[in-house]
A and B are shown apart, each in its own frame.
Chain A
């Protein structure tokens, strides 16, 4: 950023503050009808009598409502699975908001941040088909419809860069590209977006509006029982984790600096109080941490609560629920944190989880004393209201036994479990207006996700992955191996001579029933199929291991199988259910071959697995103990997930920023394109050591799947019974280990 640009920003922000910071109505900036409001004073109601007229003892019931970490989850929809997901979505939170506003006519709705990023919809609008200046991103369109009053800026707002952020928040900060002021008229939130602790480099000026005053016309009750209207002025300040400088270094380096709550908040609180604000609320995109204070702390709400003049704290960032009496989250079990009542050092605080799953509600009882309002802390009620609930005996467990929220109002979920079994869940209905106003963006995103990135000439399935079918695993391994090989060649020449192998697991292995298997029919492959092939949000890691360590890896994976007694005449289960399928790492390289002997015992608890893997060869030669390999895997496994021997994070040679899923998509799109069984779905590295058993060796898998096994060349599998009797759409199969 040039000095002239910095001066421009400083001048702009300085002049803006004059308009933004005034708390009296005389100072309120006027906005042209065509522009979104730029003033920090948001007059949300009609002109009302000055509060100085209010008699001593006048009462006001007021509520703060919070959403946080919406991450652009507008609809109750999973864009990878391409189906409704009632457990998420602002369209359902909106129903809770409407109900809360009915309960509390005097209320302010605030969003905590991490708003514009986090779904395919968000990526589509920011990167694939960038939303134009004349349109707001779908999430802001909906927030405008709902009528948010103010919002903080989270860390993920910076993920797409300052240029995009400037545009969609119509904030006229310079981004180093000379865009200052150019986007002020772009569509965006019709409410102030504020951030108090991020500053333009080389300037004392915040990048965003540093605070906001929301003016609300409220109904109060004077001691004589009469109702009057007056204006309540609530000041807001907002903080985001200083770690944005690391997390989004590529966008922010040299352009912004951050400060901590102790450095920033007191001055702003005094400023807001001096301007006549009745309450001061802190929006902290962070949770609680009582470590010794440092301006760089990621979660600063605990320290903020200890500063003077903060009436309430709206928290976020850690995707948690607060208050929650049962919470085991360490941050909510710190000293001075009342996780039941929802206070931190006596200050009411709320965190409304993420993706629109909760609405934070903070009910404040105010009494007018002298020149200001006093909060009756004993009568403050804080709760995080969910959009969904477990059901028990046709009752919602999210509601009180009487069917109310904590405030005593009717619980919106009270009737949602009627007629439902305990295994089912109840949800509030969505606000029907929202589906309509985001329909174009929603459909465009679905079309994008369905865009073919390649084709497969064979069915890709995990139904028999544990019996040897690699059709849904090999393509993942190929993508990971190619990605690592390419990176090593360009950036880690010291490892360039090492063979690169890859492992992945059949993540969908029937735990939840017959539909819990990856199943992609022959035909076009689209982006959403990648989510079926790679279930978890991991990133690609590469580890350097020896031949011995690789065998340890295989041995650990082999504990997925139970011990089989060849002499036993009755049925024996093949699968060891104590070792979950997500840990069953599979190599799929024709260079690497090994056998698993399931007649050998499983290791005793706490002992290393050994003795089941044999005849390990690499390129036809017995695997040397000291041979060295790079193995592409994921962050979970490489850092110790699953407690595989030797994999504790120390063997990582490359921790990539890219997700396994994205790597897979890119590989199919750019490299594999048209997948064939011969090239992408038939290279088994392992096989069962042949053994004749007196009884059957059985396992369950999806129903009607024998053709899938046959197509994969698994001719030793037969159907035992169509239904396993557990009501989970699973069949029982047998595998002949002698073949």
Chain B
């Protein structure tokens, strides 16, 4: 129980770090103590994605594929490419409680590609 609690706090801190790290622009948490609670209410899709990974693997929290999928979906809703790809792959390989569905795989993978195009087209080409 004790070890589980410590792990929970560690993940919470990781999540807080990720939330702050991946927000765009300077962020000052107005209620830092409250931010230690694991919540998917953060507006950082990368933070949601990492928390989804934690739920998926059971890293520091009880494994919960449903929560993982929900978080991937929330992050994907903000055009987080890796989340959309994770959902796509889950549809293809029947992971996260989903049944293999090639069309859903393609739908989400196209969304991942779409999101990547949005995120990358602004950057200068390497060549």
Contact = CB atoms under 8 A, between A and B. Distances in A.
Contacts of B16: none
Interface in A631-662: 635-636, 639-641, 643, 648-650, 655-658
Which residue among B18, B61, B112, B122 has the maximum number of chain A CB atoms within 10 Å of its CB?
B122
B33 interface: no
B82 A640 contact: yes
Given A328-B73, A483-B126, A657-B125, A355 B82 contact: no
A353 B108 CA distance: 11
Interface of B is mostly: helix
B126 A658 contact: yes
Contact of B82 (A156, A491, A641): A641
Contact of B77 (A329, A355, A491, A649): A329
B57 A605 contact: yes
Contacts, number: 116
Interface string A279-313: 00000000000000000001000000000000000
A640 B68 CA distance: 14
B53 A643 contact: yes
B89 A582 contact: yes
Interface stretch (A469-477, A535-543, A698-706): A535-543
Interface string B92-123: 11010000000100110111111011101111
A657 B120 contact: yes
A159 interface: yes
A330 interface: yes
A335 to B, nearest CB: 15
Contact of B106 (A87, A248, A328): A87
A299 B85 CA distance: 21
Contacts of B49: 639-640
B112 to A, nearest CB: 7
B5 interface: no
B125 A87 contact: no
Interface string A57-70: 00000000000000
Interface string A112-138: 000000000000000000000000000
B77 A606 contact: no
B121 A657 contact: yes
Contacts of B18: 648
Given A537-B116, A580-B95, A641-B86, A159 B21 contact: no
A657 B109 CA distance: 17
Given A156-B117, A580-B89, A643-B59, A247 B46 contact: no
6 contacts: A330-B73, A354-B107, A536-B85, A640-B53, A640-B82, A657-B125
Interface of A: 87, 155-156, 159, 243, 246-250, 298, 318-320, 328-331, 353-355, 388, 425, 483, 486-487, 491, 511, 536-539, 580, 582, 605-607, 635-636, 639-641, 643, 648-650, 655-658
Interface of B: 18, 21-22, 46, 49-50, 53-54, 56-61, 63, 70, 73-74, 77, 79, 81-82, 85-86, 89, 92-93, 95, 103, 106-107, 109-114, 116-118, 120-126
